[in-house]
Amino acid sequence: MTEVALSARRVLSLMDLTSLNDSDTDADITALCRRAVTAAGTPAAVCVYPQFVSLAKTALAALGVAEQVRVATVTNFPDGSADIAGAVQQTQAAIAAGADEVDLVFPWRALQSGDEQTGLALVSACKAACGEQLLKVIIESGALSEPALIRRASELAIEGGADFIKTSTGKVTVNATPEAAGIMLEVIRAAGGTTGFKAAGGVRTLAQAAEYLVLADRLMGPEWVTPAHFRFGASGLLTDLLRILQEPANSSESQDGY
């Protein structure tokens, strides 16, 4: 197998195959789950809106990949409200529906205004609501824009108990960038390296994904970059990976949700 094909397989194993479109239907989510089953392997998870969690669990079980592919969903999404009680309620409902992972939007506007405590409290409360399930905190790095704010949001999310910190919702003008990823990975390393990282928003090709892998391999080490610590949030990326691996996509492609 060529080096490029090996890289494509590696990226596939790190993907959260995502559909977060307002127009999503049961049929769209069922098709998304079918796309998760390829001859080259499966992604780490599928990520869908909360109302589709149960459907995704059922579809993956029917496909025989429920053990390999986790189901992620989103809360406090996409606005990043400062309403702690509302975020906790959404997170509790997502866990009750069967979500294996919750991608929570950090109240980044509050941080911009100088309020650090709301973000810390919100993450802490939602981590408690998740119990043993993974909490991935979206800091919306593109909207924060300033390196100091990206760094501080990452620190607060980790202090609050985040299992992963994630770049973006995919719903703002600027999403994942290697520059923001570098800052976030540096914070993770300084905190001991146990927190994971997720690049989401605008990663659509193997070449783009490779930039993040090179960065993570350099800062954290290749052995760190596994689904337990590193993810890509994407949908269109799968099409490029399967093109490289010479396998047709299983169904019509949904738009990038992140």
Report the catalytic residues. Answer: 103, 166, 198
CA–CA separation, 118 and 124 (whole Å): 10
- Strand blocks (E) in 45-195: 45-48, 70-75, 101-105, 134-138, 164-166
Element (H, E) at 10: helix 3-13
CA 20 – CA 50 distance, rounded (Å)? 10
Tokens of 207: 């070449």
Name the token pair of 5.
């094909």
Closest by alpha carbon to 171, among 135, 142, 210, 133?
Answer: 142
C-alpha triplet 220, 168, 119: angle, nearest 5° = 90
**CB atoms < 10 A from the CB of 114, how many?**
6
